[in-house]
Structure 1
Amino acid sequence: MTAATDDRRIDYVEFNVGNIEASKAFYGKAFGWSFTDYGPEYCEFDDGRLKGGFTTLGTPRPGGPLVVLYAHDLEAALSSVESAGGKIVRPITGFPGGRRFHFSDPNGYELAVWTKR
């Protein structure tokens, strides 16, 4: 995506899993996904169009993966989420690829927003 088209769009999907190797085996066999390991607690998958991740840092939960949006200005996105009525459930934190925060929407769905900056 270009800078004009990637701001505030769904960019990444993250699954909390109990066993990364088992998840890789399933999705690799079932759908032909490829994987990049980032240590024992995180693995990125690539389905050929969209990337996402498997992590053991959260609790596997029925109802789906963590939807991750991208923002050029993370602080402005956090402010927009709060002013729209969202609740910040994990403040801005750094990780090897950038920074992100998690929020819950008014219905209780948890999402995240990240940036490379």
Structure 2
Amino acid sequence: MTKNNQINYIEIPAKNIEATKTFFSDVFGWSFVDYGPDYSSFAAQGVDGGFFKSDLVVSTKNGSPLIVLYSNLLETTQDNIEKAGGKIVKPIFSFPGGRRFHFSDPNGNEFAVWSE
């Protein structure tokens, strides 16, 4: 299958790279490769990407794209996010095709998690 003209990589701002790595490792089981103190990459999570050092945040309020993760156990994932220091910014709600919630990571970046 060709990669031509497909989304291949995404980069996300992070105020604190170490806290970001800990959060996504604890909640989602991600692993990281560091490229200096200001960048860390992840792979095999649906799309490859990385976190770069920045004081900016991703939020739908300011028009940023929303990164949506999938979970087989929506409530369990929500609990794990809260235990790891994430904040729920939109509680679980239904939409055609499933349910989802939005959360912010320790940096304040907004993400969503959905389930069928």
Q: TM-score, normalised by structure 1?
A: 0.47
Q: TM-score, normalised by structure 2?
A: 0.48
